[in-house]
């Protein structure tokens, strides 16, 4: 875990999770997924923690599924629900801030949206690029992207699979905070300090209440996304697109 997912105590009940799988550029490598699960389990066991900041490294926040995983889903060997790490920011009982200081791509962007607060960088690229490969979105993205960013821009992102800079999303009126890339972590820390000033039990209780609706809807949404994958993911064109487009 220490090699690719780092947990740092910042004081006053604030902890920072840093995703740093440089070999895979923070795609969903086995090491990254296992590290995320382990670090959130560690946070769960520590009753002194109040707030989590989730970030990546350098120019990368999180870049979604690996080429091998996409082909495994295409071949029917796994489903995205088998990668059972991505809801941990939502399931974490204390507030989580996604400080997306770098690019966030596909499932990596959706993963960040499971946090309670999202901060984007103006210069970074954000995309839900599932349809670029010809298959419908997964990981709860059809619920989270429109609800967190706004229905109009969220649906556009899901359908078009285009790249959007954070500054463009800000101009389009997304419902999350967008600041200069260099200020993302500072803004996250400022927010974390404000939250950490509150009683831990009150933070936990309010988070549980505010997320009740999304938690109630999510299982059915994921079930429907998996059903769509059975229709869309196994097309021969999808394999061709993964082979041609992955990494571009």
Question: Could you tell me the two tokens for 162?
Answer: 């285009």
The length of the chain, given as a count of residues: 248
What is the set of active-site residues? 229
User: What phi, psi does 53 have (nearest 5°)?
Assistant: -105, 125
CB 6 within 8 A of CB 18: yes
CB 61 within 8 A of CB 25: no
Pairwise CA distance, residues 55 & 178, whole Å: 15
Question: Could you tell me the two tokens for 9?
Answer: 């105590």
CB 9 within 8 A of CB 51: no
In degrees, rounded to 5, the angle at the alpha carbon of residue 202 between the alpha carbons of residues 197 and 203 is 65
Question: Could you tell me the two tokens for 58?
Answer: 């350098």
Mapped onto helix, strand or coil, the DSSP state of residue 124 is: coil
E-only strand ranges, the chain: 5-11, 14-19, 51-55, 60-62, 96-100, 103-105, 117-121, 125-127, 164-165, 177-179
């Amino acid at each position: 875990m220490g090699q690719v997912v780092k947990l740092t105590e910042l004081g006053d009940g604030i902890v920072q999770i840093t995703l740093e799988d440089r070999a895979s550029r923070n795609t969903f490598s086995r090491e990254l997924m296992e590290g995320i699960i382990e670090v959130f389990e560690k946070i769960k066991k520590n009753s002194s923690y109040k707030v989590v900041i989730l970030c990546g490294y350098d120019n990368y926040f999180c870049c979604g599924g690996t080429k091998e995983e996409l082909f495994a889903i295409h071949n029917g060997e796994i489903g995205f629900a088998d990668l059972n790490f991505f809801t941990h920011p939502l399931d974490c009982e204390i507030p989580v801030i996604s400080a997306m200081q770098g690019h966030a791509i596909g499932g990596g962007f959706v993963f960040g949206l499971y946090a309670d607060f999202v901060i984007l960088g103006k210069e970074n690229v954000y995309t839900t690029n599932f349809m670029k490969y010809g298959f419908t979105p997964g990981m709860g993205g059809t619920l989270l992207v429109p609800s967190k960013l706004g229905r109009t821009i969220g649906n556009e992102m899901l359908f078009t699979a285009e790249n959007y800079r954070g500054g463009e999303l800000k101009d389009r009126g997304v419902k999350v905070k967008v600041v200069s890339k260099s200020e993302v972590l500072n803004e996250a820390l400022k927010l974390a300090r404000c939250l950490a000033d509150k009683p831990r039990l009150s933070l936990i209780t309010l988070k549980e209440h505010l997320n009740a609706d999304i938690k109630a809807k999510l299982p059915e949404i994921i079930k429907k996304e998996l059903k769509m994958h059975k229709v869309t993911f196994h097309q021969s064109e999808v394999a061709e697109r993964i082979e041609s487009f992955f990494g571009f």
